[in-house]
Amino acid sequence: MNIHSVDVYILDLPTIRPHQLAMHTIVEQTIVIACITDEEGREGWGEVATIGGASYGESTPEAIKVNVDTYITPHLLGENPVHFDKVMHDVSLHVRGNHFAKALVETAVIDLAAKIKNVPAYELFGGQIHSSLPVAWTLASGDTGKDIEEAQEMLHQRRHNIFKLKIGKGDPYQNVQHVLEIQKAVGDQARLTVDVNQAWDEYTANDCIAVLEDGGVSMIEQPLPTWDQEGMSRLTSRFKVPIMADEAANTVQDAFQIAKYRAGNSIALKVCKAGGMTQTKKVAAIAEGAGLGLYGGTMIESTLGTAICAHLYATIPGFTFGTELFGPLLFKDKITTNPIKYENFEIVIPDGPGFGMEIDKEKVKHYARAWKVMT
């Protein structure tokens, strides 16, 4: 049952509409997937997603693939996937950083380990607490009228009643008015949050957050650059509205520093930025111990990557702000034969061995930049 081969693919998936963030507008999302095969031919599949090449973070799709192929794979071959914590510990001794690359291989190893045991992956993390979780939708067209129409349609379909607005691009004060108009339109039917993606300085944040708080916005995500922990701490102590750390909250060490200095009073979890599922659960434990609220974040993964996050989040007791696992709904196509289910404003946790997703290899081949015939 030991690991026999590791194959990594970069895929570019088209989206149903432009998705505007502070640093990049997504019209085609890049994901990186890995297939790890054992000696008996069983496959485990993992995924991470990036945003805008190097515009969101340091891990680019190309670097993830090269580093897995060159530096991580030699430490996987011949190892027992069931002992995935040992496997990843050994990798960490030889490979520094590279959290996205480590998350990619760890999720594939865990999928394989769960399939060997014939259990859902969440069973390897203490078992399922939630069978479904609240899921937010990001309104990111940049057009107020379109965003209001989109929000009202989501409410009508009972698909989402939590909405996030990306407001880091353009004039901050115009963006605040954009948010307030949408808040007025949806009223008490939905909860609104905003994500600044590090785009403000502290002066701008003080002005804008005061208006957003008065307008009923329920959370402000990463208003300041990742390095400005002192500024985040001042904002957290000044305002009643929760201040969330996202880009600043990656590793267990980051989470500890945020908790220690109150550089935010909530944290967005993401499997890729922490370096894998095991590390993400450690981040969640630090947050829980420090009384920080949790949000189940996304890098806009496909059905596979969304299932990975959902399986882990299903084992974590509380999400103050719900989750953001809407990725599959933003894509024109999927790379699995089965879908992710959304109903009654929630995402349903997939069942079945591993992450519960069946890979459509023809779709992988279609969207991959280069395709290796598997043997």
List residues with catalytic annotation: 166
SS3 132: strand
Nearest CA to 289 out of 269, 260, 329, 254 is that of 260
Type of residue at 6: V
Type of residue at 65: K
Return the structure tokens found at 121: 């992956």
Sign, CA dihedral 324-356-106-27, equals: negative
CA dist., res. 340 & res. 303, Å (int): 6
CA dist., res. 283 & res. 292, Å (int): 11
CA dist., res. 202 & res. 248, Å (int): 15
CA dist., res. 117 & res. 8, Å (int): 24
CA dist., res. 363 & res. 308, Å (int): 19
Residues with Cβ within 8 Å of 146's Cβ and at least 6 positions away in sequence, in order, are: none
Count the neighbouring beta carbons within 10 Å of the beta carbon of residue 314.
Answer: 23
Sign, CA dihedral 293-295-125-272, equals: negative
Question: E strands of the chain, at which residues?
Answer: 3-20, 25-38, 43-49, 132-134, 137-139, 162-166, 191-195, 220-221, 243-245, 266-269, 293-296, 342-343, 346-348
- Give the strand order in the sheet containing 132-134: 132-134, 346-348, 342-343
Residues with Cβ within 8 Å of 218's Cβ and at least 6 positions away in sequence, in order, are: 191, 192, 193, 241, 242, 321
